[in-house]
Amino acid sequence: MKIIPAIDIIDGKCVRLSKGNYNSQITYNQNPLEVAKTYEDHGIEFLHLVDLDGAKSNHIINYSILEIIASKTNLKIDFGGGIKTENDVNLAFNSGANQVTCGSVAVKQPEIFCDWILNYGSEKIILGADVRGKYVATDGWINTSNQTIFDFINFYKNKGIETVTCTDISKDGMLEGPSFKLYSKIIDAYNINLVASGGVSEYDDILKLDDMGCYGIIIGKAIYENKISLKQLENFILKQK
Protein backbone atom coordinates (compact mmCIF):
# COMPACT_ATOMS: atom_id res chain seq x y z
CA MET A 1 0.00 0.00 0.00
CA LYS A 2 1.31 3.41 -0.99
CA ILE A 3 1.83 5.97 1.75
CA ILE A 4 0.85 9.33 0.23
CA PRO A 5 1.16 12.43 2.42
CA ALA A 6 -1.01 15.37 1.40
CA ILE A 7 0.09 18.96 1.02
CA ASP A 8 -2.88 21.31 0.59
CA ILE A 9 -2.04 24.78 -0.68
CA ILE A 10 -3.72 28.14 -0.10
CA ASP A 11 -1.78 31.31 -0.94
CA GLY A 12 1.36 29.22 -1.39
CA LYS A 13 1.23 27.85 2.18
CA CYS A 14 0.62 24.37 3.63
CA VAL A 15 -2.83 24.34 5.23
CA ARG A 16 -5.48 21.90 6.39
CA LEU A 17 -9.24 22.32 6.45
CA SER A 18 -11.89 20.47 8.44
CA LYS A 19 -14.65 18.87 6.34
CA GLY A 20 -13.57 21.04 3.43
CA ASN A 21 -14.63 24.25 5.19
CA TYR A 22 -12.36 27.07 4.04
CA ASN A 23 -13.19 29.02 7.19
CA SER A 24 -11.55 26.26 9.26
CA GLN A 25 -8.16 26.83 7.65
CA ILE A 26 -5.08 26.17 9.78
CA THR A 27 -1.68 27.08 8.33
CA TYR A 28 0.98 24.55 9.32
CA ASN A 29 3.96 25.65 7.28
CA GLN A 30 4.85 28.61 5.06
CA ASN A 31 7.18 26.49 2.91
CA PRO A 32 5.68 23.52 1.01
CA LEU A 33 9.08 22.50 -0.40
CA GLU A 34 10.47 22.16 3.12
CA VAL A 35 7.60 19.85 4.04
CA ALA A 36 8.00 17.80 0.85
CA LYS A 37 11.74 17.36 1.44
CA THR A 38 11.05 16.15 4.98
CA TYR A 39 8.73 13.49 3.61
CA GLU A 40 11.34 12.41 1.07
CA ASP A 41 14.00 12.23 3.80
CA HIS A 42 11.84 9.61 5.55
CA GLY A 43 11.65 7.29 2.57
CA ILE A 44 8.32 8.53 1.23
CA GLU A 45 8.05 8.34 -2.55
CA PHE A 46 4.61 9.78 -3.26
CA LEU A 47 2.86 13.10 -2.68
CA HIS A 48 -0.74 14.27 -3.05
CA LEU A 49 -0.55 18.00 -3.81
CA VAL A 50 -3.83 19.92 -3.77
CA ASP A 51 -4.36 23.44 -5.06
CA LEU A 52 -7.23 24.53 -2.79
CA ASP A 53 -7.28 27.99 -4.39
CA GLY A 54 -7.69 26.31 -7.75
CA ALA A 55 -10.32 23.87 -6.46
CA LYS A 56 -12.88 26.62 -6.00
CA SER A 57 -11.71 28.55 -9.03
CA ASN A 58 -11.97 27.80 -12.75
CA HIS A 59 -8.30 26.97 -13.28
CA ILE A 60 -5.06 25.91 -11.58
CA ILE A 61 -3.53 28.68 -9.48
CA ASN A 62 -0.62 27.27 -7.46
CA TYR A 63 1.21 25.49 -10.29
CA SER A 64 4.48 27.22 -9.32
CA ILE A 65 4.48 25.25 -6.04
CA LEU A 66 4.12 22.04 -8.03
CA GLU A 67 6.99 23.12 -10.27
CA ILE A 68 9.29 23.83 -7.31
CA ILE A 69 8.57 20.55 -5.50
CA ALA A 70 8.84 18.48 -8.69
CA SER A 71 12.16 20.07 -9.67
CA LYS A 72 13.76 19.85 -6.23
CA THR A 73 12.60 16.40 -5.04
CA ASN A 74 12.17 12.95 -6.59
CA LEU A 75 8.63 12.57 -5.22
CA LYS A 76 6.02 11.17 -7.59
CA ILE A 77 3.31 13.81 -7.40
CA ASP A 78 -0.37 13.49 -8.07
CA PHE A 79 -1.84 16.95 -8.41
CA GLY A 80 -5.43 18.08 -8.00
CA GLY A 81 -7.46 21.24 -7.63
CA GLY A 82 -8.60 23.53 -10.42
CA ILE A 83 -8.15 21.10 -13.29
CA LYS A 84 -11.09 22.11 -15.44
CA THR A 85 -9.69 22.19 -19.00
CA GLU A 86 -7.11 20.39 -21.14
CA ASN A 87 -4.87 23.43 -20.72
CA ASP A 88 -4.95 22.78 -16.96
CA VAL A 89 -4.04 19.11 -17.49
CA ASN A 90 -1.11 20.07 -19.70
CA LEU A 91 -0.01 22.77 -17.26
CA ALA A 92 0.03 20.24 -14.41
CA PHE A 93 2.06 17.71 -16.39
CA ASN A 94 4.43 20.37 -17.75
CA SER A 95 4.94 21.62 -14.18
CA GLY A 96 6.06 18.16 -13.06
CA ALA A 97 3.00 16.20 -12.00
CA ASN A 98 3.18 12.44 -12.60
CA GLN A 99 -0.59 12.10 -12.31
CA VAL A 100 -3.59 14.39 -12.01
CA THR A 101 -6.66 13.88 -9.86
CA CYS A 102 -9.92 15.22 -11.30
CA GLY A 103 -13.34 15.25 -9.69
CA SER A 104 -15.48 18.24 -10.63
CA VAL A 105 -14.89 17.93 -14.37
CA ALA A 106 -15.67 14.19 -14.18
CA VAL A 107 -19.07 15.06 -12.70
CA LYS A 108 -19.94 18.04 -14.90
CA GLN A 109 -18.24 17.19 -18.20
CA PRO A 110 -17.94 13.40 -18.48
CA GLU A 111 -17.21 13.49 -22.22
CA ILE A 112 -14.14 15.64 -21.64
CA PHE A 113 -12.93 13.52 -18.74
CA CYS A 114 -13.35 10.32 -20.79
CA ASP A 115 -11.25 11.91 -23.55
CA TRP A 116 -8.51 12.60 -21.01
CA ILE A 117 -8.49 8.96 -19.91
CA LEU A 118 -8.05 7.92 -23.54
CA ASN A 119 -5.55 10.61 -24.51
CA TYR A 120 -3.27 10.58 -21.47
CA GLY A 121 -3.77 6.98 -20.30
CA SER A 122 -5.50 5.62 -17.23
CA GLU A 123 -2.17 5.43 -15.39
CA LYS A 124 -1.96 9.24 -15.55
CA ILE A 125 -5.55 10.17 -14.69
CA ILE A 126 -7.00 9.55 -11.20
CA LEU A 127 -10.73 9.83 -10.52
CA GLY A 128 -11.36 12.05 -7.51
CA ALA A 129 -14.49 10.72 -5.83
CA ASP A 130 -15.21 13.09 -2.96
CA VAL A 131 -18.36 12.05 -1.17
CA ARG A 132 -20.75 13.91 1.12
CA GLY A 133 -23.26 11.44 2.54
CA LYS A 134 -23.62 9.20 -0.49
CA TYR A 135 -23.36 11.91 -3.14
CA VAL A 136 -20.30 13.19 -5.00
CA ALA A 137 -19.20 16.75 -4.17
CA THR A 138 -17.59 19.25 -6.54
CA ASP A 139 -15.83 22.65 -6.69
CA GLY A 140 -13.62 22.24 -3.66
CA TRP A 141 -16.54 20.50 -1.90
CA ILE A 142 -18.64 23.65 -2.06
CA ASN A 143 -21.37 21.96 -4.13
CA THR A 144 -22.96 18.49 -4.09
CA SER A 145 -24.06 16.66 -7.22
CA ASN A 146 -26.96 14.23 -7.63
CA GLN A 147 -24.61 11.34 -8.49
CA THR A 148 -24.08 8.63 -5.90
CA ILE A 149 -20.54 7.49 -5.20
CA PHE A 150 -21.26 3.99 -6.51
CA ASP A 151 -22.87 5.12 -9.77
CA PHE A 152 -19.97 7.54 -10.27
CA ILE A 153 -17.25 4.92 -9.78
CA ASN A 154 -19.12 2.31 -11.80
CA PHE A 155 -19.52 4.66 -14.77
CA TYR A 156 -15.81 5.47 -14.93
CA LYS A 157 -14.70 1.92 -14.21
CA ASN A 158 -16.49 1.03 -17.44
CA LYS A 159 -14.65 3.88 -19.18
CA GLY A 160 -11.24 2.50 -18.23
CA ILE A 161 -10.34 4.34 -15.02
CA GLU A 162 -7.95 2.32 -12.86
CA THR A 163 -7.35 4.44 -9.76
CA VAL A 164 -9.92 6.19 -7.58
CA THR A 165 -9.15 8.48 -4.67
CA CYS A 166 -12.17 8.51 -2.38
CA THR A 167 -12.52 11.13 0.33
CA ASP A 168 -15.37 11.07 2.83
CA ILE A 169 -15.78 14.79 3.46
CA SER A 170 -17.40 14.23 6.86
CA LYS A 171 -14.17 12.57 8.00
CA ASP A 172 -11.62 14.85 6.38
CA GLY A 173 -9.44 16.74 8.83
CA MET A 174 -11.42 15.48 11.83
CA LEU A 175 -8.90 12.87 13.10
CA GLU A 176 -11.78 10.54 13.95
CA GLY A 177 -10.86 7.58 11.75
CA PRO A 178 -11.50 6.77 8.06
CA SER A 179 -14.71 5.50 6.44
CA PHE A 180 -13.80 1.83 6.68
CA LYS A 181 -17.29 0.60 5.74
CA LEU A 182 -17.44 2.77 2.63
CA TYR A 183 -13.98 1.71 1.47
CA SER A 184 -14.77 -1.95 2.11
CA LYS A 185 -17.92 -1.70 -0.04
CA ILE A 186 -16.00 -0.05 -2.88
CA ILE A 187 -13.20 -2.63 -2.78
CA ASP A 188 -15.74 -5.47 -2.76
CA ALA A 189 -17.78 -3.99 -5.61
CA TYR A 190 -15.08 -2.89 -8.07
CA ASN A 191 -11.72 -4.16 -9.23
CA ILE A 192 -9.97 -0.80 -8.95
CA ASN A 193 -6.99 0.76 -7.20
CA LEU A 194 -8.65 2.50 -4.25
CA VAL A 195 -6.78 5.30 -2.51
CA ALA A 196 -8.40 6.05 0.85
CA SER A 197 -8.44 9.65 2.00
CA GLY A 198 -9.85 11.45 5.02
CA GLY A 199 -9.95 10.84 8.74
CA VAL A 200 -6.72 8.91 9.26
CA SER A 201 -5.86 9.57 12.88
CA GLU A 202 -3.53 6.83 14.15
CA TYR A 203 -1.09 4.22 12.95
CA ASP A 204 -3.62 1.41 13.40
CA ASP A 205 -5.80 3.06 10.73
CA ILE A 206 -2.98 2.47 8.24
CA LEU A 207 -2.68 -1.20 9.18
CA LYS A 208 -6.45 -1.71 8.90
CA LEU A 209 -6.67 -0.06 5.47
CA ASP A 210 -3.71 -2.14 4.31
CA ASP A 211 -5.44 -5.34 5.47
CA MET A 212 -8.60 -4.29 3.62
CA GLY A 213 -6.69 -4.12 0.36
CA CYS A 214 -6.42 -0.37 -0.23
CA TYR A 215 -4.00 0.55 -2.98
CA GLY A 216 -2.91 3.71 -1.20
CA ILE A 217 -3.68 5.98 1.73
CA ILE A 218 -3.54 9.78 1.83
CA ILE A 219 -2.53 11.23 5.18
CA GLY A 220 -2.66 14.92 6.03
CA LYS A 221 -3.56 16.39 9.37
CA ALA A 222 -2.44 13.32 11.35
CA ILE A 223 1.15 14.03 10.31
CA TYR A 224 0.99 17.76 11.05
CA GLU A 225 -0.59 17.10 14.46
CA ASN A 226 1.94 14.35 15.29
CA LYS A 227 -0.75 11.67 15.60
CA ILE A 228 1.34 9.57 13.23
CA SER A 229 5.09 10.06 13.13
CA LEU A 230 7.20 10.13 10.00
CA LYS A 231 9.35 7.43 11.60
CA GLN A 232 6.30 5.14 11.79
CA LEU A 233 5.60 5.78 8.12
CA GLU A 234 9.25 5.14 7.25
CA ASN A 235 9.17 1.81 9.09
CA PHE A 236 5.90 0.79 7.39
CA ILE A 237 7.43 1.51 3.96
CA LEU A 238 10.61 -0.43 4.81
CA LYS A 239 8.60 -3.49 5.95
CA GLN A 240 6.86 -3.60 2.56
CA LYS A 241 10.11 -3.72 0.61
Cα–Cα distance measured from residue 135 to residue 178, given in angstroms and rounded to the nearest whole number: 17
Q: Which domains does the chain have, with CATH numbers?
A: 2-240 (3.20.20.70)
pLDDT for 175 equals 78
Phi, psi of 138 (to 5 degrees): -135, 175
**Reported pTM:** 0.94
DSSP state of 150: H
Q: Which residues contact 91 (CB under 8 A, 6 or more apart)?
A: 60, 63
- The CA angle 149-21-17, to the nearest 5 degrees, is 95
CA distances, 83 to each of 42, 180, 224 (Å): 30, 28, 26
Q: What are 48-70's pLDDT values in tens digits?
A: 999 999 988 889 999 999 999 99
Give the H/E segment covering residue 76: strand 76-80
Residue 130 known to be catalytic: yes
Residue 151 known to be catalytic: no
151 contacts 176 by C-beta, under 8 angstroms: no
The active-site residue, picked from 51, 130, 168, 205, is: 130
pLDDT for 220 equals 92
pLDDT at 124 over 80: yes
DSSP state of 54: H
